[in-house]
Amino acid sequence: MSDIPYGFEKPIAKRLRDTVRGSGLSIGQDDLPPEQRRVALAKAPVGGIPARSGTTPGTATCTFLEITTSPALATTAVSETVYNISGTAVSANAYIFVNREYISGKWVVIMESCEPA
């Protein structure tokens, strides 16, 4: 039996590589480029993020944050569309946690900071 080399077309090879990286099995989250990380801190915009309407999630562009060494929350240059699947709107300027949705990779609000008014 001879060893037959197997190869993949470039788009398939990239997809396989990204799948392995995204699984978190072979490398840590710190090693992933920001666009492939699965959890992020963000700040809702001045208008907040609208609630879901039926099957249509609310959306807004949110600024992502990082925790600095001091430690402090600092805005980054990263802004992404974030989806809110809750029936309740996210408050204006609220700090939020967002996760990547498994199939589409879109950012989804999973928790809003709930400071008293």
Structure confidence by residue, pLDDT tens digits, 45-70: 999 999 999 999 999 999 999 999 99
- Whether 26 is in a domain gets the answer yes
pTM of the predicted model as reported, rounded to 2 decimal places: 0.68
Is the same domain home to 91 and 53? yes
**CA 55 to each of CA 40, 73, 92, 97: distance values in angstroms, whole numbers, following the listed order:** 24, 33, 22, 21
Structure confidence by residue, pLDDT tens digits, 8-27: 677 777 777 777 666 554 44
- Whether 56 is in a domain gets the answer yes
- Whether 1 is in a domain gets the answer no
- Whether 19 is in a domain gets the answer yes
Residue 103 belongs to domain spanning:
38-112
Say if residue 32's pLDDT is above 60.
Answer: no
Helix, strand or coil, per DSSP, at residue 32:
coil
- Whether 2 is in a domain gets the answer no
Burial class from Cβ neighbours inside 10 Å (0-12, 13-18, 19+) for residue 82 reads buried
If pLDDT is split at 50, 70 and 90, which confidence band does 105 have? confident
